[in-house]
């Protein structure tokens, strides 16, 4: 699903596209880099869970006829042992580690979507700010035309100085509003530059805000299906709940025994009083031992209780995230549909009518059929409708981006 933006102006070669801005912000985002490293670390920790415990080797030399004279030892023993956890513990630890890594991966996806949304929001605020500056210039031209008509009628004696003063005040008011528009555009540029890692006040050229918007249809059933399957916050909570459940199982498995397998080679002389002449006998041993957690119910009980509470908390967190995301999704879809309705009304009716009204008002005031107040209201109405329309365009793009975040897609 793609939001189609159409413009009529030609773009400069060095204009920064929204896609390029998003990619540049992602490439330099410290938050994204932080989570990327956390994902790599979590995957490494999961693999580590499958590694064997360290073995042990031993050498024992006994019954020497002189202090530490190993050449006259009566016996020697060489051993090797390998400990093992109860079967299944290592795999469960690995699986829990993978869940933690997947939860971090989902968090990384959410962060990438958030960075993209932040950049797009700032990008279109810059475009809106530039558009408002253009509208201010257009309004200034309209007001100059009004002042010219008022002065002509005043010179002809058909209006008073009050109309001239009001026309000039409208010009000054428009000039005063320009300062606020410049500040708003500059603030948006600074915000976007910071996200891109540019000097805060460096020049920035972006694509102009579209004159028209091809509004995509949002299927609520499809959106709910994507929410359940792709929403990164839900996926993160889901993997966290799975990891917590496995943590509870591991806590219970702490009551199970661990094992150790060992082999040894034993060499000894038959008569320890005559080491040099007594024959050497060699035997071999195979040992198997189990370490039973006899006091496990006492030692592990609170770990089990804590793991149980953690699992319940993760389940509740998952349920809460699903509810919040569902509410946010329907709010986003309703906002999109509301904005789309308003955009259609402004584009098809309010803008054409306000433009036609101003043209008629200019003509009728020039011929003395209407008062200056009616002409001023027509000019103010055109400015207001144009400003509102482009604000709705920028708002719709932002709302559509938020909708993409919820369904786990960068739109």
pLDDT in tens, 256-287: 888 999 999 888 776 655 655 667 788 888 98
Cβ-based neighbour number of residue 108 at 10 Å: 20
Give which of 233, 251, 256, 257 is closest to 300, Cα–Cα: 251
Which two structure tokens, joined as six digits, stand for 404? 């993409």
Q: What number is the average pLDDT over the span 206-224?
A: 82
Least confident stretch, 5-14, 89-98, 122-131, 357-366: 5-14
Nearest-angstrom CA–CA distance, 233 and 246? 20
Q: Taking CA 349 as the corner, what is the angle to CA 345 and CA 354, rounded to the nearest 5 degrees?
A: 120
Q: What number is the average pLDDT over the span 86-108?
A: 94
Domain ranges for the chain: 4-54+89-251+320-406
| Confidence label for 60 from pLDDT (cuts 50, 70 and 90) | confident
Q: Which CATH class is domain 4-54+89-251+320-406?
A: mainly alpha
CA 77 from chain centre, in angstroms, equals 61
Q: What digits encode the pLDDT tens for the residues 158-207?
A: 888 999 999 999 999 999 999 999 999 999 999 999 999 899 888 888 99
| Confidence label for 6 from pLDDT (cuts 50, 70 and 90) | very low
Burial of 30-68, coded b for 16+ CB within 10 Å and e otherwise, reads: eebeebbebbeebbebbeebeeeeeeeeeeebeebeeee
């Amino acid at each position: 699903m793609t939001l189609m933006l159409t413009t009529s102006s030609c773009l400069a070669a060095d204009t920064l596209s929204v896609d390029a801005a998003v990619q540049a912000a992602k490439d330099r985002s410290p938050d994204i880099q932080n989570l990327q490293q956390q994902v790599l670390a979590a995957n490494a920790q999961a693999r580590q869970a499958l590694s064997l415990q360290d073995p042990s080797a031993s050498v024992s030399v006994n019954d020497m006829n002189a202090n530490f004279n190993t050449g006259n030892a009566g016996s020697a023993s060489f051993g090797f042992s390998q400990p093992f956890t109860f079967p299944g513990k290592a795999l469960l630890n690995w699986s829990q580690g993978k869940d933690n890594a997947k939860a971090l991966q989902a968090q990384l996806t959410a962060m990438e979507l958030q960075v993209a949304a932040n950049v797009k929001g700032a990008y279109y605020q810059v475009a809106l700010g530039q558009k408002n500056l253009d509208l201010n210039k257009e309004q200034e031209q309209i007001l100059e035309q009004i002042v010219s008509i008022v002065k002509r009628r005043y010179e002809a004696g058909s209006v008073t100085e009050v109309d001239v003063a009001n026309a000039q005040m409208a010009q000054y008011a428009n000039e005063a509003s320009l300062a606020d528009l410049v500040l708003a555009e500059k603030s948006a540029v600074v915000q976007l530059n910071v996200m891109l890692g540019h000097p805060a006040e460096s020049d920035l050229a972006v694509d102009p805000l579209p004159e028209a918007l091809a509004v995509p249809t949002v299927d609520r059933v499809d959106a709910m299906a994507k929410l359940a399957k792709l929403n990164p916050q839900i996926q993160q909570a889901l993997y966290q709940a799975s990891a917590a459940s496995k943590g509870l199982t591991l806590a219970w498995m702490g009551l199970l025994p661990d094992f150790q397998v060992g082999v040894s080679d034993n060499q000894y002389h038959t008569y320890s009083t005559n080491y040099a002449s007594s024959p050497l006998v060699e035997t071999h041993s195979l040992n198997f031992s189990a370490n039973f957690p006899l006091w496990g119910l006492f030692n592990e009980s609170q770990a089990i209780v804590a793991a149980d509470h953690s699992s319940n908390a993760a389940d509740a967190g998952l349920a809460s995230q699903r509810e919040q995301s569902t509410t946010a999704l329907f709010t986003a879809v309703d906002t999109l549909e509301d904005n789309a309705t308003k955009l259609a009304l402004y584009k098809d009716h309010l803008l054409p009518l306000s433009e036609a009204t101003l043209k008629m008002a200019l003509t009728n005031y020039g011929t003395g059929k209407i008062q200056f107040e009616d002409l001023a209201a027509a000019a103010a109405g055109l400015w207001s409708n144009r400003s509102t329309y482009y604000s709705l365009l920028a708002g719709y793009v932002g709302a559509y981006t938020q909708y993409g975040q919820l369904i786990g897609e960068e739109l």
